[in-house]
Amino acid sequence: MGSAGQCAIRQNVHPAGARQKTNFLDFIVAGRVDLNPYICSPAGIVQLGNDEDMYLPLLALLEPNPATIPVSESLFPRIGDTETTQPLAGDGNGFFDSYEGYTYGDPHITRVQWGNGPVPSTPPGQGSCTAGPAVPFPASLPWDHFTDYPVYHDVFFYNPDVRKFVVKTLTGKTLGPEPVITFEELLGLSDFGLVDFKPRRDQL
- Mean pLDDT throughout 164-191? 78
Same domain flag for 175 and 124:
yes
Same domain flag for 22 and 114:
yes
Same domain flag for 161 and 178:
yes
Number of domain units in the chain: 2
Q: Over the chain, what HEC string results?
A: CECCCCCEEEECCCCCECECCCCHHHHCCCCHHHHCCECCEEEEEEEEEECCCEECCHHHHHCCCCCCEEHHHCCCCCEEEEEEEECCCECCCCEHHHHHHHCCCCCCEEEECEEECCCCCCCCCCCCCCCCCCCCCCCCCCCCEEECCCCCHHHHHHCHHHHHHHHHHHHCCCCCCCCCCCHHHHHHHHHCCCCCCCCCHHHC
Same domain flag for 155 and 173:
yes
Beta carbons within 8 Å of 195's beta carbon, 6+ residues apart: 21, 23, 24, 27, 186, 189
Same domain flag for 75 and 149:
no
Q: Which amino acid does the sequence have at 65?
A: N
Residue 201: predicted pLDDT: 52
- Mean pLDDT throughout 141-150? 88
| Within a domain: 58 | yes
- Mean pLDDT throughout 125-131? 91
Residue 3: predicted pLDDT: 38
Residue 1: predicted pLDDT: 39
The yes-or-no verdict on residue 188 having pLDDT over 90 is no
- Mean pLDDT throughout 112-136? 88
| Within a domain: 1 | no
Same domain flag for 115 and 138:
yes
Residue 76: predicted pLDDT: 83
Same domain flag for 158 and 73:
no
Same domain flag for 22 and 71:
no
The yes-or-no verdict on residue 204 having pLDDT over 50 is no
Same domain flag for 49 and 129:
no
The yes-or-no verdict on residue 96 having pLDDT over 60 is yes
Residue 62: predicted pLDDT: 92
Instruction: Compute the mean pLDDT over every residue in the chain, rounded to the nearest whole number.
Output: 79
81 close to 45: Cβ distance less than 8 angstroms = yes
